[in-house]
Amino acid sequence: MRMLQSLDLAGAVSTRVSAASRPPKWRARPWVPRVVGLGTLVCLLVVLEGLCAAGRVNPFLVPAPSTIIASFPMLLVEHHLPQRFASTIAKVCAAALLAVLLGGFLGWAFYRSRNMRLAFRSWVVGLNASPSILLYPLFLIIFGRGAGTIVALGVISALPPIVLKTSEGLLATRRVLLDVGRSFNLTAFQQFRLVQFPAALPIIFTGVRIGLIYAVITVVGVEYLLAYGGLGELVPDLADRFEIPAMYAAIIFVILVSAGFQFVVQKVERWLQSV
Amino acid sequence: MTIKRLGVFPIIALLIVLALPLTALAADRVRIGTAGKGAWEAAVPWLGQQTGIFAKHDIDVEVFYTDGSTKALEGVIGGSIDVAIGVNVANFIGAVVKGAPVVMICGIFTGLSDTLWYVRADNPIRSVKDLTENSTVGYGTAGSYNQIAGLALLDQAGAKSKMVAAGSSSAVLTLVMSGQIDVGFNGNGLMGVPEFQKNEVRIIARGDDIEAFRGLTVRGFVTSKSLLAEHRDVLLRFVQAYQETIDWMYKDQRAVEMYAKEFNLPPDEIARLMPVFYPKSAFGIQPVNGIDRSVEQGLQFKRISKQPTDEQLAAAFDIIWTPEQK
């Protein structure tokens, strides 16, 4: 009897323990991370606003978030934000398209030719590790002070991860999948389109995503250096005019553009995988 | 008793005792930001250090060369630079209107005798009158004196050409020689520029041609209000040492030789052109003349967002010393 009681007790304890160890239901909700992230941001902004209002930080160097938000209309009207956005995004898209085409081809060539891969892979890795933006004086002479230089540098910076990940993805295709393709007597092109490319797509898109991040950074960075068109030119121009809240607003806008670009790329990746 | 038993305290005490005289002897360090590395005007801090003039005034100068004087001004606002040298007066007032806690402590240059605009020798533009809407005119960075001067030059000529931010003088020269822009500027009278010596470029306008800048103090020294309040004596000694260096540069031929050697320039050409582009009457510590005109120019060329109040202007200028006060 005592044993039974102790067993019951043990069962009750174990039930309590398992109930206690199980995470509460709200933690499993998909909106929780978003709320936590957004809440943290809002809290930080409120703290900053309070520090500015209390005069604890220099409002000239670190303006209040409300002032930054209030300067967006000025960016739209006086500094032609939509036109600048279109200019930058056009250059990013051009650089991305060229980098994907060229990088995809080179990645495929690396996959096809072992000698080429062994000969040039280290070059691409080296290029990936180097700050290619420093080449801008050279490109300035070749392409002139204009969109050509900016796009070319965008391509150069985006290329290495796309090349490396494309070849890596194609090389990583499982042999069993290739064998299945062969058993169906697929042509080389069909084998590539129906087996290798879909299998390599997740790895290829990792390279594309990294490459596009580099392209956005480089395009905005070279616009900044050349003071030529787009969002990159806007930030130093506002800084030099001491429009500090508007400068922060422009920086926030650039970050949002970059995040939006990544979001679009993710959507494209999912769409391609579903097709 | 061994050193081990004594511990490290006697050693630390000894080091402190040894360091005390050094501390007492250490000069006051002034971090300055200046644009135009290699220009005669920007060589003052270097020459002052080489000749020991700054040391004589108990000042140790640390020079940061910036891409335009606006960057130096931004450094002062951010606290990384103590004194910004050669800041355009109109741009400075623009910063004050926006609430920047900065103050101009003296003027340094009157007029624009040091500035030239040029084209490639094969360019059909022969003077500013030939500039069209399609012509492109380079300037340094937004807010620099050469931008405002360029705008004033175009305004005086009635030209509607496009102004292009092109960076340093050497970057502008590259753009002109490669045909990417038509007109370049040089803020050092093109002294020592090989393309000028070989007649590969042609001067189309000089700063002196612009009436709006005659007799106007165009550039000055800017520091933060807090630094001026706390270390006025240091800044005073710095400004006095600066002027003494300038005096020496115009008195002693060695200044030209040292400058030419350091920046790999032909000394004869420097000796011949320097008095033309940097006349002693224009270059030196001075009061800031023509503030109203600078405000007008700043408003006209959108470097000042709104008319500054009298209080703002009064607080913005605190001329700590001029040579007349000797």
pLDDT digits (tens, 9 = 90+) for B240-279: 999 999 999 999 999 999 999 998 989 998 998 899 999 9
Chain A residues touching residue B68 (CB < 8 angstroms): 240
Does the beta carbon of B267 lie under 8 angstroms from any beta carbon of chain A? no
Position B5 pLDDT exceeds 70: no
Say if residue B24's pLDDT is above 50: no
At A130, is the secondary structure helix, strand, or coil?
Answer: coil
| Of the ranges A162-171, A264-273, B14-23, the best mean pLDDT one | A162-171
| Least confident window among A235-244, A254-263, B23-32 | B23-32
What is the band of A5 on the pLDDT scale with cuts at 50, 70, 90? low
The Cα diameter of chain A in Å comes to 94
Averaged pLDDT, B90-98: 93
Of the candidate ranges A21-25, A49-53, A161-165, B250-254, the one whose mean pLDDT is the lowest: A21-25
Q: What is the pLDDT of residue A1?
A: 44
CA B165 → CA A226, B39, B116, B145, distances in Å?
8, 20, 16, 12
pLDDT of residue A100: 95
Which residues in chain B are contacts of A145 at CB distance < 8 A?
164, 166, 175, 180-181
- pLDDT of res. A16: 56
Contact A241 B178 (CB under 8 A): no
Strand B102-110 and strand B116-120: the pairing is: unpaired
- Chain A contact for B136 (CB, 8 A cutoff): no
The predicted pLDDT at position B205 comes to: 94
Does B99 contact A60 at a Cβ distance shorter than 8 Å?
Answer: yes
Per the CB < 8 Å rule, is A240 touching B180?
A: no
Which two tokens mark B309? 């109040």
φ and ψ at residue B247, rounded to 5 degrees? -55, -45
Q: How far apart are CA B33 and CA B99, in angstroms?
A: 21
What is the per-residue pLDDT for A272?
Answer: 79
CB contact, 8 Å: B143 with chain A? yes
> For residue B191, what pLDDT is reported?
84
Domains and CATH numbers, chain A: 2-55 (no CATH), 70-274 (1.10.3720.10)
Q: Write the pLDDT tens digit of every residue in B269-323.
A: 899 889 999 999 999 999 999 999 999 999 988 889 899 999 999 999 999 999 9
Q: List b or e across B107-135, with b for residues whose CB sees 16 or more CB atoms inside 10 angstroms.
A: bbbbbbbbbbbbbbeebebeebeebeeeb
Contacting residues of A for B167, CB less than 8 Å apart: 227
Interface touch B174/A141, C-beta < 8 Å: yes
Q: How many CA atoms lie within 13 A of A28 on its CB side?
A: 4
Chain A interface mutation, best of B67, B74, B92, highest count of A Cβ atoms under 10 Å: B74
Helix spans in chain B (H)? 3-6, 9-25, 44-50, 53-56, 69-78, 89-97, 145-157, 169-177, 194-197, 225-230, 232-251, 253-262, 267-277, 291-300, 310-316
**Cβ contact B105:B192 at 8 Å:** no
First to last CA, chain A: 65
Supply the mean pLDDT for chain A. 87
Token pair 């429009």 in the structure block, residue: A243
Residue in B96, B178, B301, B306 to test binding to A, most A beta-carbons within 10 Å: B178
Cα A169–chain centre separation: 19
Rounded mean pLDDT, B177-205: 89
Residue of chain B whose Cα is closest to the Cα of A239: B74
pLDDT of residue A270: 84
Q: What is the pLDDT of residues A47-96, one digit of tens each?
A: 999 998 888 888 888 899 999 999 999 899 888 999 999 999 999 999 99
Give the closest residue to B40 by CA, choosing from B284, B313, B225. B284
Half-sphere exposure of A72 (CA within 13 A, CB side): 8
Domain with CATH 3.40.190.10 in chain B: 27-110+215-325, 116-212
What is the number of CB-based contacts under 8 A between chain A and chain B?
A: 49
Q: Which residues, including other chains, have CB under 8 Å from residue A50's CB and lie 6 or more apart? A: none
CA distance B216 to B208: 11
A78 shares contact with chain B (CB less than 8 Å):
no
Distance CA B225, CA B199 (A): 47
A55–chain B Cβ distance below 8 A for any pair: no
- Indicate whether A2 pLDDT > 70: no
Phi-psi region of B247 (alpha: psi -120 to 50; beta: other; left: phi over 0): alpha
* Residue A189 touches chain B, beta carbons under 8 Å: no
CATH superfamily of this structure's domain B27-110+215-325? Periplasmic binding protein-like II (3.40.190.10)
Q: Give the gap in angstroms from C-alpha B40 to the nearest C-alpha of chain A.
A: 25
**Cβ of residue A8 closer than 8 Å to a chain B Cβ:** no
CA of A22 vs chain B CAs: smallest distance (Å): 51
Q: Do B94 and A145 touch (CB under 8 A)?
A: no
Which range has the top average pLDDT, A12-16, A126-130, B104-108? B104-108
Which architecture characterizes domain B116-212 according to CATH?
A: 3-Layer(aba) Sandwich (3.40)
ipTM here: 0.72
Which residues of chain A neighbour B181 with C-beta distances below 8 Å?
A: 145
Q: Do A242 and B95 touch (CB under 8 A)?
A: yes
Is pLDDT above 70 for B9? no
Residue B28's pLDDT band, with cuts at 50, 70 and 90, is very high
Determine the pLDDT at residue B19.
55
Q: Does A239 touch chain B (CB under 8 A)?
A: yes
